[in-house]
Amino acid sequence: MDHKLTVTVPEEVYQPLVEEALRHDRTPEEEASLRLQRSVPRRNGERKPGALEELFGSVSLGHPTDMNNESIDRDIARTIADNHEDHD
């Protein structure tokens, strides 16, 4: 049985929800419902499939990261240079 809820959220919650919904061709209501479903553990304590995806990218490395190729190339080169210095 489905139940209907009316929820009021602040703008800083609503706006990212709308943006994510648009990226997946869903309404904000559908997106909110999916997120809520994923966050509620099943009776056996397990989360529903897809719940972990919401945690992807949520690790803090203690410094800013960038996803452009030049930045990645610099990081790789720096790591290789650091490893070679350790072996000298």
Question: Does the residue 28 lie in any domain?
Answer: yes
Does the pLDDT value for residue 18 go beyond 80? yes
Question: Does the residue 2 lie in any domain?
Answer: no
Give the 3-state secondary structure of the chain.
CCCCCCCCCCHHHHHHHHHHHHHCCCCHHHHHHHHHHHHCCCCCCCCCCCCHHHHCCCCCCCCCCCCCHHHHHHHHHHHHHHHHHHHC
Question: Does the residue 1 lie in any domain?
Answer: no
Question: Does the residue 6 lie in any domain?
Answer: no
Which has the higher per-residue pLDDT, 62 or 26?
26
Domain of 69 in residue numbering reads as 11-87
Q: What is the pLDDT of residue 22?
A: 92
Confidence band (pLDDT; 50, 70, 90) for 9?
Answer: confident
pLDDT tens by residue, 45-75: 665 555 555 555 555 666 666 666 777 778 7
Question: Does the residue 4 lie in any domain?
Answer: no
The number of domains in the chain is: 1
